[in-house]
């Protein structure tokens, strides 16, 4: 049975979801078998695609919905959430 | 047959005469569309997949070649790698082959086109510009599809490189032994390609209009890096004329290089310090080679703009420490962050209606204290090396300066409490580039250790013109009486307060303006490294007596035209060679 996990997070770093965080997220997401998507407004992006993530153009403060489906969905969500919470190592 | 001339922006001086080599000849605009038979589809998809893999291998190899001091390039190349690995992008291209039975080249272009549409809708300019990266990445794949030709490695003889654009990865691969000059269709005066050309000392022209794919490869062309011209199919007269000019320039170059390590001292003993403006590590070598006596302006923005995110305190400290040790024992003046909100905050704010008058430089830093604190701490940490000075840009008045100083002291106290070492008497200066700072220069001078006049912005703000606007750029007049008076007043105010004043900006590299600045007794000038030898030569051959006399005439003149005539006459009489090899801000 495929596990579906969802969580709402907020973009915290001041530069928003620009090239470096998008790269980090896509790299991390690729480590999981689960399919992972990021939703913002009416848009949906594949978390494993840097170009998709960039096209969300999500500035600081944007509310995003993470959604993962697959055997390791729970780990994927918690690891990605942590990246957002750490603000991708920025704004320290 | 008459020759054809293309015009662009000259970014690196010199003349090159040689065979043209077109990079990325198969740029998308010339791509043929083919429809495939159903049976060819799997093979075509495989071909595209292989091209992606080959491009990946190439880029990974280039990344491993990036020298330690070009770390900024590595970050860009890494993001290109991630785009190249983007499975969705690749799938999109493959889907186009499968669904519409088109050839791989065309499918790739369609995939780029799809993304282009998505990106075009993004309001944020920084993100929109990432499309440029997608294009560069796709071009690599395309290069593989068309048989690996057209790349930099394929160049077998010395040639003038013509390209749509040069990516950071391309510039790593540039072999000066093969490339005698280059021209690109993209790019502006401050583009990275230009900085690189100057540091490699090869002539270059960027932003060339009409530099398309129809250029016959292998033809002899002339590239004029003084005036920004590309002459296709030159006739014998032109070839002879430019060969002459090239020889003259080489001998002039040799002459000025021989004396560039000597002090900039006039024949009657007036000494001016000649410093350099830099942005990157690799430019320091050029500063030393060209006789720069220190760094008068280190633009600190690059570490913020290049890797996409905010650099950490440790990252900045390392950069500043490295730079200061590299420059030592000469001095290094670090200018704190001087960008507008439009560039730095990217998507965080709706774009400002008027960025030049908006939240930029020190205003941005005062509003975003966390960002400012990080940079101040890094600079203070680097101050222990002893040769570092700090400089704040865009100060508009005393109250703002007091505010900055207050915060600066606060950060110092914090560091003191944490037991972190720094040099308490690190020289602290400000840029004078806003008219209100000019007018109150006498007040400001009592509060700082030095002034640096930023003429580019000062001229823009004082004359109320945006010189990138073609319709008003004719009003960009460095010798406008208002500008001359402003600079004179700032220099005098500084000297009365007993502090030194430096002048940076293009004016400092303009041979026509140097005698006027010398007449004002500016203590130092700071300019692009490669302009130093020529400027030093003028200083060494001039006398303070004639410069003072010239200044006197200029100060009493009421018209720009008369000022321009005065300086041109002097240059014509005293330094005829400069007339030939330099383009000046002072028009005829």
Q: Do B348 and A16 touch (CB under 8 A)?
A: yes
Residues B517-535: pLDDT tens digits?
A: 999 999 999 998 888 999 9
Residue of B nearest to A52 (CA): B88
pLDDT at A35: 93
Nearest to A15 among B75, B134, B309 (CB): B309
Q: Do A57 and B88 touch (CB under 8 A)?
A: no
Nearest to A26 among B82, B118, B370 (CB): B82
Report how far apart, in Å, the C-alpha atoms of B125 and of each of B79, B122, B170, B342, B356 are.
18, 8, 24, 8, 16
- Those residues of chain B whose CB sits closer than 8 Å to some CB in chain A are 75, 78-79, 82-83, 86-89, 115, 118-119, 122-124, 126-127, 130, 134, 307-310, 312-313, 345-348, 368, 370-371
Distance from the Cα of A23 to chain B's closest Cα (Å) equals 7
Is B307 catalytic? The answer is: no
Scan for tokens 């090396």, then name that residue. B385
| Cα–Cα dist B568/B93, whole Å | 59
Closest CA to B124 of B342, B339, B303, B357: B342
Q: Tell me which of B72, B88, B343, B371 to substitute to probe the interface with A (most A C-beta atoms closer than 10 Å).
A: B88
| Cα–Cα dist B246/A6, whole Å | 68
Task: Give the domain A4-89 fold.
Answer: 3.30.1340
Strands, sheet with A4-10, edge to edge from the N-terminal-most edge strand: A4-10, A63-69, A35-40, A43-46
Is A18 catalytic? The answer is: yes
Domain ranges of chain A: 4-89
Torsion angle of C-alpha atoms B157, B160, B165, B168, degrees rounded to 10 = 60
Distance from the Cα of B473 to chain A's closest Cα (Å) equals 34
Distance from the Cα of A75 to chain B's closest Cα (Å) equals 22
Q: Do A15 and B310 touch (CB under 8 A)?
A: yes
| Cα–Cα dist B296/B334, whole Å | 8
Residue of B nearest to A92 (CA): B312
Residue of A nearest to B111 (CA): A51
Residue of B nearest to A43 (CA): B118
Given a cut of 90, whether residue A47 has pLDDT beyond it is yes
Q: Do B88 and A46 touch (CB under 8 A)?
A: yes
A7-33 mean pLDDT: 88
Residues B14-43: pLDDT tens digits?
A: 999 998 888 764 554 445 667 888 888 999
Burial class (CB in 10 A: 0-12, 13-18, 19+), A41: exposed
A89 has a chain B CB within 8 A of its CB: yes
Q: Do B307 and A90 touch (CB under 8 A)?
A: no
A14 has a chain B CB within 8 A of its CB: yes
Both structure tokens of B478:
């460095």
Residue of B nearest to A45 (CA): B88
Both structure tokens of B383:
């101050």
Residue of B nearest to A18 (CA): B308
Q: Do A19 and B78 touch (CB under 8 A)?
A: no
Residue of A nearest to B350 (CA): A59
Q: At B173, phi and psi to the nearest 5?
A: -85, -10
Q: Tell me which of A10, A49, A56 to substitute to probe the interface with B (most B C-beta atoms closer than 10 Å).
A: A49
Nearest to B122 among A23, A46, A57 (CB): A57
Q: Taking CB atoms and an 8 Å cutoff, what residues of chain A touch B78?
A: 23
pLDDT at B29: 46
Q: Do B86 and A54 touch (CB under 8 A)?
A: no
| Cα–Cα dist B75/B138, whole Å | 18
| Cα–Cα dist B177/B167, whole Å | 19
- Which residue is catalytic, options A3, A7, A18, A40? A18
Closest CA to B93 of B39, B50, B30, B132: B50
Q: Taking CB atoms and an 8 Å cutoff, what residues of chain B touch A19?
A: 79, 130, 308
Q: Tell me which of A28, A42, A51 to substitute to probe the interface with B (most B C-beta atoms closer than 10 Å).
A: A51
| Cα–Cα dist B217/B21, whole Å | 6
Q: Taking CB atoms and an 8 Å cutoff, what residues of chain A touch B119?
A: 54-55
> What Rg value do the Cα atoms of chain A yield, rounded?
12
Segments of chain B with pLDDT less than 50: 1, 25, 28-30, 149, 345-349, 588
A-B Cβ pairs (cutoff 8 Å, strict): 86
Q: Taking CB atoms and an 8 Å cutoff, what residues of chain A touch B83?
A: 50-51
Both structure tokens of A26:
């896509």
A45 has a chain B CB within 8 A of its CB: no
Average predicted confidence (pLDDT) for chain A:
88
Q: At B329, phi and psi to the nearest 5?
A: -85, 5
CA A66 from centroid of its chain's CA atoms: 6
Domains, chain B:
4-25+156-252 (3.50.30.10), 28-145 (1.10.274.10), 271-531 (3.20.20.60)
A16 has a chain B CB within 8 A of its CB: yes
| Cα–Cα dist B402/B327, whole Å | 30
A38 has a chain B CB within 8 A of its CB: no
Residue A92: band (very low, low, confident or very high) from pLDDT cuts 50, 70, 90: low
A57-70 mean pLDDT: 90
Distance from the Cα of A61 to chain B's closest Cα (Å) equals 9
pLDDT at B192: 66
Burial class (CB in 10 A: 0-12, 13-18, 19+), B332: buried
Report how far apart, in Å, the C-alpha atoms of B193 and of each of B281, B329, B343 are.
15, 29, 20
Distance from the Cα of B111 to chain A's closest Cα (Å) equals 12
């Amino acid at each position: 049975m495929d596990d579906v996990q969802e969580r709402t997070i907020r973009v915290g770093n001041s530069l928003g979801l620009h090239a470096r965080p998008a790269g980090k997220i896509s790299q991390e997401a690729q480590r999981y078998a689960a399919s992972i998507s990021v939703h913002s407004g009416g848009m949906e992006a594949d978390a494993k695609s840097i170009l998709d993530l960039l096209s969300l153009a999500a500035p600081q403060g944007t509310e995003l919905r993470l959604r993962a489906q697959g055997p390791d969905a729970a780990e994927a969500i918690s690891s990605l959430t942590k990246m957002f919470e750490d603000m991708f190592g920025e704004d320290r | 047959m008459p020759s054809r001339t293309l015009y662009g922006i000259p970014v690196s001086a010199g003349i090159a005469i040689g065979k043209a080599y077109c990079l990325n000849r198969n740029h998308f605009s010339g791509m043929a569309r083919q429809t495939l038979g159903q049976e060819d589809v799997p093979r075509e998809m495989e071909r595209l997949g292989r091209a992606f893999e080959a491009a990946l291998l190439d880029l990974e190899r280039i990344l491993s070649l990036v020298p330690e001091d070009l770390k900024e390039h590595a970050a860009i190349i890494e993001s290109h790698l991630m785009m190249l690995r983007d499975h969705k992008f690749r799938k999109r291209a493959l889907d186009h082959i499968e669904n519409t039975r088109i050839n791989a080249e065309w499918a790739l272009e369609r995939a780029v086109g799809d993304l282009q549409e998505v990106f075009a809708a993004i309001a944020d300019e920084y993100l929109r510009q990432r499309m440029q990266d997608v294009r560069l990445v796709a071009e690599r794949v395309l290069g593989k599809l068309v048989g690996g030709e057209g790349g930099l490695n394929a160049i077998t003889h010395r040639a003038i490189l013509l390209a749509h654009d040069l990516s950071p990865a391309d510039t790593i691969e540039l072999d000066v032994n093969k490339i005698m000059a280059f021209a690109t269709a993209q790019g502006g005066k401050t583009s990275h390609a230009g900085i690189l050309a100057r540091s490699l000392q090869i002539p270059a022209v960027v932003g060339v209009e009409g530099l398309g794919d129809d250029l016959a490869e292998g033809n002899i062309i002339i590239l004029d890096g003084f005036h920004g011209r590309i002459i296709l199919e030159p006739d014998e007269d032109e070839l002879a004329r430019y060969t002459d000019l090239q020889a003259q320039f080489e001998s002039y170059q040799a002459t000025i290089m021989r004396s560039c390590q000597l002090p900039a001292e006039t024949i009657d003993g007036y000494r001016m310090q000649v410093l350099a403006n830099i942005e990157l590590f690799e430019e320091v070598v050029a500063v030393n080679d060209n006789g720069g006596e220190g760094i008068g302006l280190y633009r600190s923005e690059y570490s913020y703009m290049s890797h996409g995110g905010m650099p950490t305190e440790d990252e900045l400290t390392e950069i500043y420490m490295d730079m200061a040790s590299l420059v030592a024992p000469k001095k290094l003046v670090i200018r704190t962050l001087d960008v507008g909100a439009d560039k730095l905050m990217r998507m965080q704010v709706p774009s400002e209606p008027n960025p030049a008058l908006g939240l930029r430089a020190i205003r941005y830093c005062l509003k975003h204290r966390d960002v400012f604190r990080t940079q101040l701490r890094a600079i203070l940490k680097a101050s222990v090396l002893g040769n570092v000075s700090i400089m704040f840009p865009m100060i508009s008045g005393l109250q703002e300066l007091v505010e900055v100083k207050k915060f600066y002291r606060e950060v110092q106290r914090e560091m003191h409490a944490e037991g972190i070492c720094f040099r308490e008497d690190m020289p602290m200066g400000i840029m004078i580039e806003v008219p209100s700072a000019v007018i109150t220069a006498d007040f400001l001078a009592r509060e700082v250790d030095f002034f640096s006049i930023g003429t580019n912005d000062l001229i823009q703000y004082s004359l109320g013109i945006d010189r990138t606007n073609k319709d008003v750029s004719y009003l960009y007049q460095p010798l406008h009486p208002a500008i001359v008076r402003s600079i004179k007043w700032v220099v005098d105010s500084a000297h009365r307060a007993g502090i030194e004043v430096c002048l940076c900006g293009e004016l400092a590299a303009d041979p026509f303006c140097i005698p006027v600045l010398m007449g004002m007794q500016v203590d130092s000038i700071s300019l692009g490294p490669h302009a130093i030898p020529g400027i030093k030569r003028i200083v060494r051959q001039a006398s303070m007596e004639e410069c003072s006399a010239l200044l006197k005439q200029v100060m009493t003149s009421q018209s720009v035209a008369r000022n321009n005539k005065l300086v041109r006459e002097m240059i014509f009489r005293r330094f005829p060679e400069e007339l030939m090899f330099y383009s000046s801000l002072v028009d005829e």
